[in-house]
């Protein structure tokens, strides 16, 4: 019979100690509640030695990704609460000889978007732009209430981490 050991002395909260969550949290807090037409840009690269870093980056295949978030309020006269569009972009450059691989990855991802479940999300769409040496994965997400923007944005960061965890 197997055993699972859980260390009670360590609290699990990646939003406080793990990049890029802690960077996003700081920049989001700096907006002081005024998110309309604001953009958060995070260059993802290892910084502190020994700090957990979720992106395994092999520079032979691609350079550091950049995560962008832009927020826009949506008005609907039939609803009490104001919905918000989160325009999220995960962008990176890659070795041009792997362009076919990046396009295949983006097409696979796009095909699976209908299976993604993110609580508090009313609508999720994905598109991508493939250049000669770069790609932008674009996620347009509509949340039902402005108070859910921070949580859903962190869930999108988790999705980015899972994407890069697949390895290249």
List the CATH number of the domain containing 23.
3.30.2000
> Does any domain span residue 9?
no
> Does any domain span residue 40?
yes
Residue 6 token pair: 């859980």
> Does any domain span residue 2?
no
pLDDT at 166: 62
Cis amide leading into 125 (omega within 30): no
Q: For the chain, what is the mean pLDDT? A: 82
* SS (HEC) of 10-44: CCCCHHHHCCCHHHHHHHHHHCCCCCCCCEEEEEC
> Does any domain span residue 138?
yes
> Does any domain span residue 137?
yes
What's the number of domains the chain is made of?
1
- Beta bridge partners, 121, equal 143
Q: Are 116 and 125 in contact (CB under 8 A)?
A: no
pLDDT in tens, 66-125: 999 999 998 876 766 789 999 999 998 888 888 888 899 899 999 999 999 999 999 999
pLDDT band for position 140 (50/70/90)? very high
pLDDT at 19: 77
Q: Are 120 and 145 in contact (CB under 8 A)?
A: yes
126 has pLDDT over 80: yes
Domain that holds residue 21: 14-165
> Does any domain span residue 18?
yes
**Three-class SS of residue 107?**
helix
pTM as predicted: 0.82
Distance CA 6, CA 54 (A): 21
pLDDT in tens, 21-33: 888 999 999 988 7
> Does any domain span residue 1?
no
> Does any domain span residue 5?
no
**Roughly how many angstroms between the first and final C-alpha of the chain, as a whole number?**
36
- Beta bridge partners, 93, equal 134
């Amino acid at each position: 019979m197997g055993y699972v050991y859980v260390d009670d002395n360590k609290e699990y909260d990646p939003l406080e100690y793990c990049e890029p969550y802690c960077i996003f949290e700081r920049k989001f807090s700096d907006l002081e509640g005024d998110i309309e037409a604001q953009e958060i840009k995070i260059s993802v690269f290892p910084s502190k030695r020994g700090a957990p870093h979720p992106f395994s980056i092999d520079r032979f295949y691609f350079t550091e990704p950049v995560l962008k978030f832009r927020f826009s309020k949506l008005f609907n006269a039939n609803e009490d609460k104001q919905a918000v569009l989160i325009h999220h972009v995960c962008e990176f450059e890659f070795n041009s000889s792997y362009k076919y691989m990046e396009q295949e990855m983006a097409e696979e991802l796009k095909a699976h978007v209908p299976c993604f479940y993110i609580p508090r999300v009313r609508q999720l769409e994905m598109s991508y732009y493939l250049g000669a040496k770069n790609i932008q994965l674009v996620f347009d997400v509509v949340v039902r209430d402005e108070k859910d923007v921070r949580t859903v944005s962190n869930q999108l960061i988790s999705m980015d981490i899972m994407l890069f965890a697949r390895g290249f």
